[in-house]
Amino acid sequence: MSGGTLRDRLRTQLADCKMPGALEAVDDILRRIDAGELSAGPAMEALLGSHIALRNQRRLQTAMRCARLPTVKTLDDFDFTFQPSVKRDQLESLHTLQFLERKENVVFLGPPGVGKTHLAISLAVIAAERGRRVYYATLADLITWLEDAQQAGHLTRRLRTLVSPSLMVVDEIGYLPISRTGAQLFFQLMSRRYEHASTVLTSNKSFEEWGEVFGDEVMAAALIDRLVHHCHIVNIRGNSYRMREHRALASRLAPPPAPDSSSAPVRGRSPRRQEG
């Protein structure tokens, strides 16, 4: 391959090697070499780094689609100053994903809007970035899928599918009522994942209220027993991010206060001179 310019030859070789990230970056890297900004070693590192970055981005996008993650949230985006009850070192430790290796669970408890879903998704995102299989669902959606599978006669296959992800996020426990059948199906799933794979759960209800959520105190106690056996519990006590945003928006949209007419001077009349 002796014909063409160096740029053309590099682009052909990168295309043959199926390195689209490097192919996108090669023109800018050659420009920086010509400008004396990069030497050979850093240029090679930048070229390979561009390829790896694009590959990881595409892998994350594919993993997010398969995981049904509703959005991308990261630990860096979380406002620890607004939620001082959250221990940063505990969350940073969880984001090393060692709990996945030990098949441990994570439960985020707290009132609505304090960041439980944000933190749960951030764990799912970093797990997906590291090549782990991830699955996300609200409790209501998860139970609907299990009930549909049961009615269609392939519940066992659906349970097997839901046991396999290294990390499952079950969001919004306690937000909507669930049927007794749905509670029993969820219990089956959690029992199968127990000590087999990690589950991250979020709830606006304390464990003491889960009996009411699932409609069965005994089953709720058995479920909690399995979940907390190997578990990291994060209690978040604070204000709602959404309420903070609503208040900020309301303050921006509020009309400016009207001037106080009692202190405004009356035109056409000079102030009366006081004697004395």
pLDDT in tens, 116-164: 999 999 999 999 888 899 999 999 999 999 999 999 999 999 999 999 9
Task: Please check whether residue 166 is in contact with residue 127, taking contact to mean a CB–CB distance below 8 angstroms.
Answer: yes
pLDDT at 212: 94
- Beta bridge pairs of residue 231: 105
pLDDT at 138: 96
Q: What is the pLDDT of residues 243-267, one digit of tens each?
A: 555 444 445 555 666 665 554 444 4
pLDDT at 208 over 70: yes
Q: What is the mean pLDDT of the chain?
A: 87
Coil, strand or helix: which one is 172? strand
Geometric angle at alpha carbon 26, from 21 and 32, rounded to 5°: 130
pLDDT at 115 over 50: yes
Give the helix/strand (H/E) hosting 168.
Answer: strand 167-173
CA distances from 71 to 23, 87, 122, 157 (A): 29, 24, 10, 28
Task: Please check whether residue 46 is in contact with residue 25, taking contact to mean a CB–CB distance below 8 angstroms.
Answer: yes
Coil, strand or helix: which one is 215? coil
pLDDT at 75 over 50: yes
Which candidate, 237, 240, 244, 209, places its Cα nearest to that of 224?
A: 209
For residue 219, what are the contacts with CB-CB under 8 A and spacing of at least 6?
183, 184, 187
For residue 28, what are the contacts with CB-CB under 8 A and spacing of at least 6?
none
* Token pair 């029993």 in the structure block, residue: 184
pLDDT at 268: 47
Coil, strand or helix: which one is 131? coil
